[in-house]
C-alpha cells in the first residue's frame, strides 16, 4: 500500500484502539474506512461520534466469524487493506470464561483470513501487489519477563493466559496464511495502551473511576508487576505506518519505553486527582489503595524493544507517560457521561478474573 487515498476495512473499530485509529485515519489522511464491529460490551459507536458524519466513513454491525457477511463486504467495498483489531481483549474476562476468546480471536481471525485470501486471489496487477492484511496483536504472546530484558520480534512465543494464548494462535494462523498462500500479511505486537475511550475494566480507567467514586482501588498482588505503557494515539500512528509502509511477512513490535510498576501508575493517578479534584475533606486519594488477591497466572513484567519499527519505518512514540496520563485523566473527568453510557447494564467496576 502507500499513503495515497485507499479503502481500508478496520475490524473492531468501535473499541478503544480501533476508534482511535479510525478518528486518526479520517482526521489526518485521505483514506476511506469501513468499520466492521459486532458491538460487544466493549464496542461503542459513541466513541466515533466526532467522525461519523464523514463521507469517508461507513459502519457495518457484523461478527467477524460470519464468513458469508465478510465475503459480501469484501466484494462490495473492494478494500486495499484490512486492519484487524476485533478481539476479546481483557485478560481477567478470559480467566472467567475463555470460549468467546477462542471463538472471536481464533475462529474469527481464521474466517477473515479465508475471506481475505479469496478476495486477494481475485485481484490483479497493482491492486493485488499492494493489498495488505495487518493483524494487530499483543506483546503478551511472548510470555513474561524477569527484572531484565526486552521482547524482540525473535522472542519465542510463550503465552500464559487464555487471552494471550488465543492471540498467539491467531498470530500463527496469520503467518501460516502468508507462508502457505502468499497473502501479504503483517503482524504488530504492542504493549499496554492507555488513553481516552478505554472501557473501564482495564487498570487505568478502573483506578480513575474507583477513586472518583470514593471506593477501594484494587491493586492485584503486591503492585510490583511491570507494564510498558503506550498512549493510544502513538499506537494508532504506528499501525498506519505499518499498513502504509510495512513489508509483507514481517512482524513489528510496538512499545512505549515507559515501564512502570502498577503501584507507580496508581500513585501517579491518585496524585494527579489530588491536584485536579482535591477532596473537600482534604483527604488523599492514595488512602483508597487496597491490595487484593493476585490475578491467577499474573505475568510479572512486559517490556518492548521497539528498535525495528524505529529503524525500518521511522516510528517513535510522541507522548511521554507524564503528558499522556494527565491528558487521559482530564479526559475521563470531562467524559463521565461516556463512562456511564458504555457501562450501563453491563458492568459495575466489579472485580473480574478471580477464577
Ligand atoms: P476493545 O476490547 O476495546 O475493543 C474490541 C472491539 O472488537 C470492540 O469494539 C468489540 O465490539 C469488537 N469485537 C469483539 N468481538 C467481535 C467480533 N466477533 N466481531 C466483530 N467485532 C468484534 O479492544 P482494544 O483494547 O481496542 O484492542 C484492540 C486490539 O488490539 C485487540 O486485538 C487487542 O488484542 C490488541 N491489543 C490491545 C492492547 C491494549 O492495551 N488494549 C495492546 C496490544 C494489542
Ligand atoms: O500488554 C498488552 C495487553 O495489555 C493487551 O494485549 C490487553 O488487551 C490489555 O488488556 C492489557 O493487558 P493487561 O492485563 O496488562 O492490562 P490490565 O489493564 O487488565 O492490567 C494491567 C496491570 O494492572 C496488570 O498487571 C494487572 C493489574 N491490575 C489490573 C486491574 C484491572 C490491577 O492491579 N488492578 C486492576 O483492577
**If you measure from the C-alpha of residue 180 to the centroid of ligand 2, how many angstroms do you get, rounded to a whole number?**
34
Which cell goes with 234?
A: 502513538
Q: Identify whether 251 is part of a domain.
A: yes
Residue 4 has pLDDT above 90, yes or no: no
Cβ distance 209 to 216 under 8 Å?
A: no
Phi, psi of 348 (to 5 degrees): -120, 35
For residue 283, the model assigns a pLDDT of 87
Ligand 2 atom closest to residue 161's alpha carbon, by position in its atom list? 14
92: annotated active-site residue: no
CATH number (domain holding residue 52): 3.40.50.720
DSSP codes joined into one string, 53-92: T-TTEEEEE--TT-HHHHHHHHHHH--SEEEE--S---HH
Task: Please count the helices (runs of H) and the strands (runs of E) in the chain.
Answer: 13, 13
Residue 208 has pLDDT above 80, yes or no: yes
> Which pTM value belongs to this model?
0.98
Mean pLDDT of the chain: 97
Cβ distance 64 to 83 under 8 Å?
A: no
Q: Identify whether 147 is part of a domain.
A: yes
Nearest residue (by CA) to ligand 1, atom 17, is 63
For residue 120, the model assigns a pLDDT of 98
Q: Is 328 in the pocket of ligand 1 (CB under 6 A)?
A: no
Domain limits for position 52: 7-194+229-257+300-319
154: annotated active-site residue: no
153 vs 94: CA distance, rounded Å: 25
Domain count, the chain: 1
Residue 3 has pLDDT above 80, yes or no: no
336 vs 213: CA distance, rounded Å: 11
Sequence-ordered alpha helix ranges (H) in the chain: 16-28, 67-77, 91-96, 99-101, 109-122, 125-130, 162-181, 203-212, 232-245, 262-276, 307-313, 321-334, 336-343
Half-sphere exposure (CA, 13 Å, Cβ side) for 32?
10
Which cell goes with 306?
A: 521497539
Q: Identify whether 309 is part of a domain.
A: yes
Average pLDDT over residues 14-31: 98
Residue 10 has pLDDT above 90, yes or no: yes
At residue 320 the predicted structure's pLDDT band, cuts being 50, 70 and 90, is: very high
Q: Does residue 265 come out as left (phi exceeding 0), alpha (psi in the -120 to 50 range) or beta?
A: alpha
248 vs 129: CA distance, rounded Å: 10
Q: Identify whether 209 is part of a domain.
A: no
Q: Which residue has the higher pLDDT, 173 or 281?
A: 173
Residue 2 has pLDDT above 90, yes or no: no
Q: Is 16 in the pocket of ligand 1 (CB under 6 A)?
A: yes
Q: Is the dihedral of CA 164, 169, 172, 173 positive or negative?
A: negative
Q: Identify whether 295 is part of a domain.
A: no
Q: Ligand 2: list residues with CB < 6 Å.
A: 89-92, 138-140, 191-192, 202-203, 206, 218-220, 225, 227, 262, 295, 302
Give the residue, out of 10, 40, 197, with the most ligand 1 atoms within 8 A of its beta carbon, to mutate for a pocket test: 40
Q: Identify whether 349 is part of a domain.
A: no
Ligand 2 atom closest to residue 227's alpha carbon, by position in its atom list? 15
100 vs 296: CA distance, rounded Å: 19
Cβ distance 317 to 230 under 8 Å?
A: yes
**If you measure from the C-alpha of residue 17 to the centroid of ligand 2, how many angstroms do you get, rounded to a whole number?**
15
At residue 279 the predicted structure's pLDDT band, cuts being 50, 70 and 90, is: confident
Which are the contacts of 280, defined by CB distance < 8 A and separation ≥ 6?
none
Nearest ligand, CA of residue 164?
2
Angle at alpha carbon of residue 207, lines to 206 and 209, rounded to 5°:
65
Give tens-digit pLDDT for 79-95. 999 999 999 999 999 99
Q: Identify whether 276 is part of a domain.
A: no
Q: Identify whether 208 is part of a domain.
A: no
Amino acid at each position: 500500500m502507500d499513503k495515497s487515498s485507499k479503502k481500508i476495512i478496520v475490524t473492531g473499530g468501535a473499541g478503544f484502539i480501533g476508534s482511535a485509529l479510525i478518528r486518526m485515519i479520517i482526521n489526518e489522511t485521505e483514506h476511506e474506512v469501513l468499520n466492521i464491529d459486532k458491538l460487544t460490551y466493549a464496542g461503542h459507536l459513541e466513541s466515533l461520534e466526532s467522525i461519523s458524519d464523514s463521507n469517508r466513513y461507513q459502519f457495518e454491525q457484523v461478527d467477524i466469524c460470519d464468513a458469508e457477511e465478510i465475503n459480501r463486504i469484501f466484494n462490495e467495498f473492494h478494500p486495499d487493506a484490512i486492519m484487524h483489531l476485533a478481539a476479546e481483549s481483557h485478560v481477567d474476562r478470559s480467566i472467567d470464561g475463555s470460549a468467546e476468546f477462542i471463538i472471536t480471536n481464533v475462529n474469527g481471525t481464521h474466517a477473515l483470513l479465508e475471506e481475505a485470501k479469496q478476495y486477494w486471489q481475485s485481484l490483479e496487477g497493482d491492486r493485488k501487489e499492494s493489498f495488505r492484511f495487518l493483524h494487530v496483536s499483543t506483546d503478551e504472546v511472548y510470555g513474561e519477563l524477569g527484572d531484565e530484558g526486552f521482547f524482540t520480534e525473535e522472542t519465542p512465543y510463550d503465552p500464559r493466559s487464555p487471552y494471550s494464548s488465543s492471540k498467539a494462535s491467531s498470530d500463527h494462523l496469520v503467518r501460516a496464511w502468508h507462508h502457505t498462500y502468499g497473502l501479504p500479511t503483517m503482524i504488530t505486537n504492542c504493549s499496554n495502551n492507555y488513553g481516552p475511550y478505554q472501557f473501564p475494566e482495564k487498570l487505568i480507567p478502573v483506578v480513575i473511576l474507583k477513586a472518583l467514586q470514593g471506593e477501594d482501588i484494587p491493586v492485584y498482588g503486591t503492585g510490583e508487576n511491570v507494564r510498558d505503557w503506550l498512549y493510544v494515539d502513538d499506537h494508532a500512528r504506528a499501525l498506519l505506518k505499518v499498513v502504509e509502509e510495512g513489508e509483507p511477512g514481517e512482524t513489528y513490535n510496538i512499545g512505549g519505553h515507559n515501564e512502570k510498576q502498577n503501584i507507580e501508575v496508581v500513585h501517579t493517578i491518585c496524585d494527579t486527582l489530588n491536584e485536579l479534584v482535591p477532596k473537600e475533606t482534604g483527604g488523599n486519594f492514595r488512602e483508597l489503595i487496597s491490595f487484593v488477591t493476585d490475578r491467577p497466572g499474573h505475568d510479572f513484567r512486559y517490556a518492548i524493544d521497539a528498535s525495528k519499527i524505529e529503524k525500518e519505518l521511522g516510528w517513535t512514540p510522541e507522548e511521554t507517560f507524564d503528558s499522556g496520563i494527565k491528558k487521559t485523566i482530564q479526559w475521563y473527568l470531562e467524559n463521565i457521561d461516556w463512562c456511564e453510557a458504555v457501562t450501563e447494564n453491563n458492568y459495575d467496576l466489579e472485580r473480574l478474573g478471580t477464577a
